[in-house]
Amino acid sequence: MLSSTLAGLMSLAVTASAFTCTRQYLQEQVDKYVFMQETGQHGEFDTLSYKMVYLENNKTASILSDLPAWGLKVDAKKSILDTTLCKTFTELIITDPSHPYVIHTQMTLDEEGSVALIDSLVTDKGDWAFNATGYQYWNSLEEWAPIPESKRLSRTQLKAAADAYADRCNDTTVIVPFGTPCARLEGGAYTGRGNLTANTCNIGGLPSNVPMTNRRYVIDEVMGTVDIFLGFTGLDRTRPKEGTPDSHLFRVEDGHIRSGPNISPVSDRIVLCNERHDVE
């Protein structure tokens, strides 16, 4: 009895030390997360850490009583996988007229492959530019296929492009490597219309002297995509010194790899969570 327990413990230890963070494993965690959100059941999520922390809009919440407990009709979902940080990012669009949401979630796995943190930004009616139907419409027109292997950028390049955008919101001298075509989806508002040359993100409207703090990244070289969770200082005017939870998802494509730093975020989607002040 004792020896079989020991053998069991040893095989567990071997399994734990052998954990490798692969795309397939991360995709399985994403699938479990989406299943939980769709069904309101977390029982199948057998890789949750005992110490798992669940955050909604940067506040501690519970998968037993907050959004994952309800069962949502998901119209569209998109995920990226970061095997270096062992993190995932998932976007869920729910247009259900009884209660629409756009949800961005970053999950962080521990060294044993258990999900230790589920960090969700749940945007809702009353949040900045919130329009789940509009978001779903523009989302449905975009195709985010994997980047061909020969054209993939490094993590450093992808992160630099996304950071340039976040830095530019504070320091107007920073140059953001916007390409053409490029479109920005902010809540339900889309900048891309008309012909391709007219589709540019270089249209102004970025704030100045707004520090983007507490940045948390998910970077996927295969998808050429970076998501940053950050604090948008001063968005909520009632709390000018506090960061409002905010997610920026960038798709970076390099059409001109030989000319070096010609990096083109063709899509920059922003989910701003204004901490649910209702403006009904």
Ligand X SMILES: *[C@@H]1O[C@H](CO)[C@@H](O)[C@H](O)[C@H]1NC(C)=O
Looking at the Cβ atoms of 22 and 202, the one nearer to ligand X is 202
Least CB distance to ligand X at residue 220 (A):
21
Look up residue 183 and give its two tokens. Answer: 């479109």
- Which spans of this chain sit near ligand X (rule: CB under 6 A)? 58, 131, 133-134, 137, 167, 170-171, 188, 194-195, 197-198, 211-214, 231, 243, 245
- 230 contacts 249 by C-beta, under 8 angstroms: no
d(CA 78, CA 87): 14
Cis peptide before 207, with omega less than 30 degrees from 0?
no
Our CB check for ligand X shows the closer of 179 and 231 to be: 231
Least distance between ligand X and beta carbon 140 (Å): 11
- The residue among 243 and 265 lying less far from ligand X, judged by its C-beta, is 243
Q: Which strand (E) or helix (H) includes residue 105?
A: strand 101-109
Question: What's the CA gap between 88 and 109, in Å, rounded?
Answer: 9
CB of 29 vs ligand X, minimal distance in Å: 23
Smallest distance from ligand X to CB 188, Å: 4
The residue among 121 and 252 lying less far from ligand X, judged by its C-beta, is 121
For ligand X, which residue has the nearest CB? 134
CB nearer to ligand X: give 193 or 258.
193
d(CA 49, CA 52): 5
Nearest distance, CB of residue 239 and ligand X, angstroms: 11
Per-residue DSSP letters for 201-221? Answer: S-SS---SS--EEEEEEEEET
